[in-house]
């Protein structure tokens, strides 16, 4: 079997999919089963317990979102721990989190039994749970979008019914039953909060699917924060209603508290309606959990910590063997074990992992890796993370000895697997070694290279002025073959006009960087780059050399041995010191563009400076139109640019007239034969093409 090393999962999950998976894996047992159990200790303070329980999740949630927007990769928590604390901790986190997720899915499927037996006392729960697990596994095989769409449907129905519950229940609250809400002892509140904490941890599981999320820097934070906000409101008002309508003695130990409250609010109809909602909730968490858990074996296999066949993708782009292992394990647990008690123990391991995740953010930030470029940064760093490292162990202590021993067992299993299987196959370390390097010890450059690769996949941010940088750049079109040193002199002379440095100083910096291996040379292009003090904005020099430029450089792919090559394109990029990650994103955008199919032909065939720049700007962000009396552009002739209403966010960047390039201004009057280069957002460019594009 031949595995494609860099084959990626399809990006199919939208913002609503993110919200639905995060919310759906949160609103299940925590709302439909646990309130009755938590009421045994918390009494009427039950709503406060759910507010307290979310507190230790907040630092972990912020930390996970930061890491997920910097490193959107399958495996989520495993990947973050592996790339920050090293492969041993990654193995522990990956295998342990996968096991905990599988147990929680099994628990959710069994949890349906309490509600099903309200109506069908003779039904065997385990066969029903196994059947649902198999159906969800089959759906997962057809792609994350299919599972995400199912999740969206389930969560939409669930939220609609829960809003009915809250809307109908609040007017029925007997406030005289809430008079002792603040009288419960602090130790009882913490103990109960430790029990219901598992209600919230599902919200972070979407991180394991981050590789499949469209625009993860935008959709992951919004989806997760929206999901946790909705969950907190539902838990607080939902439990307030339960305490306010159900006598406390009846609520304590009730395994179907939502159905019981529904009977007090709507009569028998409420029992049926909210039991139906409970089934949707349990199926939702099982679906979301199965989808998330199945990405962990894939991620571990990518890193040689599990056999390579877990990399195999189906024709639908899903990790087939990873899904089969996950679903098969769930079925085995349902048939052979009692997942209820074990799943509760697994929550303590999750708490421990969340403490490590907070540590991971501190490690990777302090490592000062420039390619670490999260779209969201956790507030109140590092105090948020320090609190997040301490609080989980407070809750674990309150949960007792058995959960702690269970967590230690999972850690031991992860260590043994790494020592006897993974260690000999892995030549990678984490960001912690970059921190050590700052202290004079050790580092692993592969992590920096990997993060730069992720930058290329993530692409530009909306605020990155890449198109503007390209359109105002200097173009040097060489007619014959030259040496790299001579080309550097020409580029440096132009850059010296923009910054308080001499041409010779800039030239030396470019050449020193190339000799040390800092200049990427690949696919027949070179990317010399610098960051300079005093520069106000990024600038570029574009060089085309159809006859080639001979360059000598240190090649990082051969342990920085000296190499030489003829390149046909050179992109000199100089940026301010103030924004190193934007500098890297622009470099990544250039590298990604030149690797696209058809670029070389377009580049070599460009007839002038304008077409060279257009070749570098992606076609969905750039369009050329020529003023022609026989086309849709005819009405533009004779008009000044400021009089023309182009779609919003469009900018006329270049104007070519009579073989010369003109920098367009508002009072520039367009003439027959003018060629305009217009840049803008993809949506705006689509409207522009509809208005002025060539007719079929």
Mean pLDDT of the chain: 79
Distance CA 447, CA 285 (A): 34
Peptide bond into 610 cis (omega under 30): no
Q: How many residues does the chain have?
A: 696
pLDDT of residue 426: 66
Q: Which of 150-154, 378-382, 465-469, 673-677 has the least mean pLDDT?
A: 150-154
Q: What is the mean pLDDT of residues 321-344?
A: 78
Q: Over the range 617-656, which residues count as b (16 or more CB within 10 Å of their CB) and which as e?
A: bbeebbbebebbeeeebeebeeeebeeeebbeebebbbbb
Question: What CATH number has the domain bearing residue 573?
Answer: 3.40.930.10
Domain membership of residue 381 (yes or no) is: no
**What CATH code is carried by the domain that includes residue 89?**
1.20.1740.10
- Whole-number Å distance between alpha carbons of 138 and 176: 50
Tokens 């890297």 belong to 584
174 and 63 within one domain = yes
Q: Give residue-wise pLDDT tens across range 364-397.
A: 888 777 667 788 889 998 999 999 998 888 777 7
- Confidence band of 440 (pLDDT split at 50, 70, 90): very low
Which string of DSSP letters, residue by residue, matches 642-680?
Answer: GG--PPTTEEEEEEEETTEEE---TTPBP-TT-EEEEEE
265 and 291 in a single domain? The answer is yes
- What confidence category does residue 652 fall into, taking pLDDT thresholds of 50, 70 and 90? confident
What pLDDT score was predicted for residue 455? 56
- Among the ranges given (183-197, 586-600, 638-652), the one the predictor scored with the smallest mean pLDDT: 183-197
Identify the domain boundary among 565, 599, 617: 617
Task: Check whether residue 562 and residue 634 sit in a common domain.
Answer: no
431 found inside a domain = no
Domain shared by 629 and 579, yes or no:
no
Q: What percent of the chain has pLDDT over 90?
A: 9
The answer as to whether 1 is a domain residue is: no
Let me know whether 222 and 237 are in one domain: yes
Task: Express each pLDDT in 112-141 by its tens digit.
Answer: 766 777 777 777 777 888 888 888 778 777
Task: Kindly report which listed range (212-221, 222-231, 433-442, 526-535) carries the lowest average pLDDT score.
Answer: 433-442
Dmax (CA) for the chain in angstroms is 91
Compute CA distances 451 → 369, 373, 584, whole Å.
9, 8, 10
pTM: 0.66
**Residue 445 within a domain:** no
The number of distinct structural domains making up the chain is 3
Tell whether 454 is covered by a domain. Answer: no
For 94, how many CA atoms within 13 A lie in the half-sphere containing its CB?
34
Q: Quick one: 133 and 259 in the same domain? A: yes
**At which of 593, 617, 641 does a domain end?**
617
pLDDT tens track for 565-618:
888 989 999 988 887 778 878 887 887 788 777 788 888 888 888 788 888 876
Give me the DSSP letters along 156-217.
HHHHHHHHHHHHHHGGG--GGGGTTTT-S-HHHHHHHHHHHGGGTGGGGGGGGGGGGBSSHH
Is there a contact between 472 and 485 (Cβ–Cβ < 8 Å)? no
**Is 548 within the bounds of a domain?**
yes
Could you tell me if 624 and 580 lie in one domain?
no
What is the per-residue pLDDT for 5? 41
**Position 276 in a domain:** yes
Instruction: Give the domain CATH number at 689.
Output: 3.30.70.1450
Q: How far is the C-alpha of 320 from the C-alpha of 323, rounded, in Å?
A: 5
Strand partners, 552: 564
Q: What are phi and psi of 254, to 5 degrees?
A: -70, 125
**Pair 508, 404 in one domain:** no
Domain holding 576, by residue range, is 459-617
Judge if 613 and 623 occupy the same domain: no
Top mean-pLDDT range of 98-112, 314-328, 568-582 = 568-582
Structure tokens at 137: 């596994």
**Last residue of some domain: 380, 413, 446?**
413
| pLDDT given for residue 204 in this prediction | 64
**Residues β-bridged to residue 662:** 655
Q: Could you tell me if 539 and 636 lie in one domain?
A: no
| Segment among 483-492, 525-534, 582-591, 631-640 with least mean pLDDT | 582-591
Residues 309 and 247 in one domain: yes
Predicted local distance difference test score (pLDDT) of residue 4? 40
Same domain? 99 vs 209? yes
Q: What gap in Å lies between CA 130 and CA 156, rounded to an integer? A: 25
pLDDT surpasses 90 at 489: yes
- Is residue 280 assigned to a domain? yes
Instruction: Identify the residue with better confidence: 333 or 8.
Output: 333
Please check whether residue 488 is in contact with residue 519, taking contact to mean a CB–CB distance below 8 angstroms. Answer: no
Q: Are 263 and 271 in contact (CB under 8 A)?
A: yes
For residues 395 and 490, the model is more confident at: 490
Among the ranges 517-521, 674-678, 680-684, which has the highest mean pLDDT value? Answer: 674-678
Residue 166, pLDDT score: 92
């Amino acid at each position: 079997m031949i595995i494609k090393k860099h084959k990626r999962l399809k990006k199919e999950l939208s913002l609503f999919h993110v919200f639905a998976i995060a919310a759906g894996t949160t609103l299940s047992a925590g709302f439909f089963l646990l309130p009755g159990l938590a009421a045994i200790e918390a009494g009427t303070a039950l709503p406060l317990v759910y507010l307290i329980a979310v507190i230790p999740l907040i630092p972990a949630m912020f930390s996970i979102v930061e890491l997920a927007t910097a490193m959107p990769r399958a495996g989520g928590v495993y990947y973050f721990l592996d790339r920050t604390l090293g492969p041993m901790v990654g193995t522990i986190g990956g295998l342990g989190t996968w096991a905990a997720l599988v147990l929680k899915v099994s628990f959710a499927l069994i949890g349906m039994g309490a509600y099903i037996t309200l109506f069908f006392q003779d039904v065997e729960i385990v066969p029903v749970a196994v059947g649902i697990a198999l159906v969800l596994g089959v759906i997962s095989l057809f792609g994350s979008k299919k599972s995400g769409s199912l999740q969206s449907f389930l969560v939409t129905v669930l939220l609609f019914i829960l809003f009915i519950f809250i809307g109908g229940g609040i007017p029925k609250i007997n406030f005289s039953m809430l008079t002792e809400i603040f009288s419960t002892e602090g130790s009882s509140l913490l103990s109960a909060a430790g029990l219901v904490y598992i209600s919230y941890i599902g919200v972070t599981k979407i991180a394991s699917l981050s590789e499949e999320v469209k625009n993860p820097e935008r959709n992951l934070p919004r989806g997760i924060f929206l999901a946790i906000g909705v969950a907190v409101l539902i838990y607080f008002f939902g439990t307030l209603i339960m305490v306010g309508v159900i006598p406390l003695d009846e609520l304590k130990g009730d395994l179907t508290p939502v159905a019981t409250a529904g009977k007090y609010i709507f009569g028998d109809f409420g029992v049926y309606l909210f039991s139906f909602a409970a089934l949707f909730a349990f199926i939702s968490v099982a679906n979301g959990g199965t989808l998330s858990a199945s990405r962990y074996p894939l991620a571990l296999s990518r890193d040689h910590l599990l056999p390579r066949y877990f990399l195999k993708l189906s024709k639908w782009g899903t990790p087939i063997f990873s899904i089969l292992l996950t679903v098969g394990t769930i079925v085995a647990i349902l048939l052979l074990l009692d997942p209820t008690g074990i799943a509760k123990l697994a929550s303590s391991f999750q708490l421990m992992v969340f403490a490590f995740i907070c540590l991971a953010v501190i490690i990777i930030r302090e490592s000062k890796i420039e390619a670490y470029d999260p779209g969201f940064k956790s507030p109140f760093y590092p105090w948020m993370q320090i609190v997040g490292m301490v609080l989980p162990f407070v809750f674990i202590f309150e949960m007792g000895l058995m959960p702690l021993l269970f967590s230690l067992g999972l850690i031991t299993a992860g260590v043994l697997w790494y020592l006897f299987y993974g260690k000999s196959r892995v030549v990678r370390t984490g960001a912690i070694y970059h921190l050590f390097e700052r202290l004079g010890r050790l580092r692993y450059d592969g992590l920096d290279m990997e993060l730069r690769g992720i930058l290329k996949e993530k692409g530009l941010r909306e605020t990155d002025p890449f198109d503007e940088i390209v359109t105002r750049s200097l173009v040097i079109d060489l007619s014959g073959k030259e040496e790299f040193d001579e080309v550097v002199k020409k580029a440096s002379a132009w850059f010296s006009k923009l910054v308080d440095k001499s041409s010779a100083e800039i030239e030396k910096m470019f050449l020193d960087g190339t000799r040390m291996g800092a200049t990427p040379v690949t696919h027949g292009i070179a990317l010399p780059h610098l960051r300079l003090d005093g520069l106000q904005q990024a600038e570029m020099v574009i060089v085309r050399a159809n006859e080639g430029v001979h360059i000598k450089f240190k090649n990082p792919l051969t342990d920085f041995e000296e190499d030489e090559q003829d390149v046909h394109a050179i992109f000199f990029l100089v940026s301010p010191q103030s924004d190193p990650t934007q500098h890297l994103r622009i470099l990544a955008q250039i590298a990604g563009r030149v690797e696209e199919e058809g670029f070389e032909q377009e580049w070599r065939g460009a007839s002038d400076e304008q077409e060279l720049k257009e070749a570098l700007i992606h076609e969905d962000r750039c369009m050329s139109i020529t003023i022609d009396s026989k086309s849709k552009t005819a009405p533009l002739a004779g008009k000044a640019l400021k009089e023309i209403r182009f779609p919003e966010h469009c900018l006329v960047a270049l104007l070519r007239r009579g073989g010369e390039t003109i920098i367009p201004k508002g009072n520039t009057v367009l003439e027959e034969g003018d060629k305009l280069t217009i840049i803008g957002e993809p949506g705006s460019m689509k409207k522009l093409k509809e208005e002025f594009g060539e007719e079929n």
